[in-house]
């Protein structure tokens, strides 16, 4: 069936979350659909691109730090030559419950059809939250942005920029009216790759007091998280993206219950 509107749209607007429909099983087939078949959904598919990859994610903490370990096999990735500097980029987005839409859509809440490289993309618009821009794309005024930021209405993100045989480059920042990269990341990244190509990437960050633009990770709160991977030197929309998942410290209802090691 040819249609350019996602059929989950109406029920999403009525209150059904992405993962409530898509569950843990759709990331594979939807990825395949985008990469291989449905040209009206992806007008410039990368030839030979695997439609999905699986991330094995493990979490733990000690008295001071949160550890998130992401392991994956990128498979056979064609070189898209979009990002000349890095072969692979692994990202994680974190909301502490302040961003209403993040609970419902994870990473996808920051993705819009007018973001750079999307169907109505404007080159300078990166990821942003709906509350930060008017429907046409212009940001709300500086005062409003400052108060949203002060209320914690932003997504924090961490990224590991990777090349085989090279030391991983850590990046962190936040997303409100745009994606803002911190000058000096506080997240630490450790990455290794096996001969067979499997990456193991561990993000480490202080649980609390990591500084402005960083959420405190405390017991009793539910965090909304999402993961993405750019592989094969891709950039912008050409990444693997998870649906939303939840994370709690020590105890609670979530896909990731972070226990003490
Ligand atoms: C009411 C159930 C429902 C909800 C809620 C829902 N989806 Fe879907 N989604 C579907 C169905 C059914 C399809 C496949 C048919 C189609 O393409 O519309 C689909 C297809 C997709 C696709 C494949 C590309 C496409 O356009 O077909 C993506 C990506 C996707 N959904 C992402 C999301 C995201 C992100 C959310 C939350 C913001 C979401 N979905 C919420 C039912 C849903």
Distance 18 CA to ligand 1 centre (A): 7
Distance 237 CA to ligand 1 centre (A): 17
pLDDT tens sequence for the chain (261 residues): 345 678 899 999 999 999 999 988 888 988 988 888 666 778 888 999 999 999 999 999 999 999 999 999 999 999 999 999 999 999 999 999 999 899 999 999 998 888 888 888 888 888 999 999 987 789 999 999 999 999 999 999 999 999 999 999 999 999 999 999 999 999 999 999 999 999 999 999 999 999 989 999 999 999 999 999 999 999 999 999 999 999 999 999 999 999 998
Residue 92 lies in a domain: yes
Polymer length in residues for the chain: 261
Number of domains in the chain: 1
- What does pTM read for this prediction? 0.94
* 68 close to 92: Cβ distance less than 8 angstroms: yes
Q: What is the pLDDT of residue 4?
A: 64
Tokens 């929309």, residue? 237
Handedness of CA 171, 175, 180, 186 (dihedral sign): negative
Residue 19 lies in a domain: no
Residue 48 lies in a domain: no
Tell me which residue of 223, 99, 204 sits closest to 158, measured CA to CA.
Answer: 204
Residue whose CB lies within 8 A of the most ligand 1 atoms, among 21, 36, 102, 119, for a mutation test: 21
Distance 215 CA to ligand 1 centre (A): 29
Residue whose CB lies within 8 A of the most ligand 1 atoms, among 1, 5, 6, 18, for a mutation test: 6
Ligand 1 pocket member 102 (CB < 6 A): no
Residue 5 lies in a domain: no
Count the alpha carbons within 13 Å of 246 in the hemisphere toward its beta carbon: 17
**Domain holding 219: CATH number?**
2.60.40
Q: How many Cβ atoms sit within 10 Å of the Cβ of residue 92? A: 24
Q: What is the pLDDT of residue 33?
A: 85
Residue 34 lies in a domain: no
Distance 53 CA to ligand 1 centre (A): 19
Query: Can you give the residue range of the structural domain that contains 156?
Result: 53-260
Residue 31 lies in a domain: no
Residue 16 lies in a domain: no
Our CA angle for 36, 39, 43, nearest 5°, is: 110
Residue 209's alpha-carbon distances to 99, 189, 203, 251, in angstroms, are 20, 18, 17, 21
Residue located nearest, by CA, to atom 29 of ligand 1: 30
Tell me which residue of 89, 138, 93 sits closest to 111, measured CA to CA.
Answer: 93
Residue 42 lies in a domain: no
Ligand 1 pocket member 22 (CB < 6 A): yes
């Amino acid at each position: 069936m040819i249609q350019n509107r996602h059929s989950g749209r109406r029920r999403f607007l009525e209150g059904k979350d992405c993962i409530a429909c898509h569950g843990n099983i759709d990331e594979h087939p939807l990825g395949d659909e985008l990469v291989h078949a449905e040209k009206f959904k992806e007008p410039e598919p990368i030839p030979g691109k695997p439609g999905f990859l699986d991330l094995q994610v493990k979490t733990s903490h000690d008295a001071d730090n949160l550890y998130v370990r992401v392991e994956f096999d990128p498979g056979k990735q064609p070189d898209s030559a979009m990002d000349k500097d890095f072969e692979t980029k692994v990202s994680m987005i974190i909301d502490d419950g302040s961003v209403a839409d993040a609970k419902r859509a994870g990473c996808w809440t920051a993705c819009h059809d007018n973001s750079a490289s999307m169907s109505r993309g404007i080159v300078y618009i990166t990821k942003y939250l709906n509350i930060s821009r008017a429907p046409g794309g212009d940001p709300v005024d500086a005062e409003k942005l400052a108060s949203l930021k002060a209320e914690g209405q932003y997504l924090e993100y961490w990224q590991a920029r990777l090349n085989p045989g090279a030391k991983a480059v850590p990046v962190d920042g936040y997303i409100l009216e745009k994606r803002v990269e911190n000058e000096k990341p506080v997240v630490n990244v450790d990455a290794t790759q096996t001969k067979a190509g499997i990456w193991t990437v561990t993000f480490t960050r202080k649980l609390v007091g990591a500084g402005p633009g960083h959420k405190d990770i405390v017991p009793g709160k539910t965090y909304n998280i999402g993961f993405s991977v750019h592989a094969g030197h891709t950039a912008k929309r050409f990444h693997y993206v998870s649906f939303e998942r939840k994370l709690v410290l020590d105890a609670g209802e979530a896909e990731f219950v972070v226990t003490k090691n």
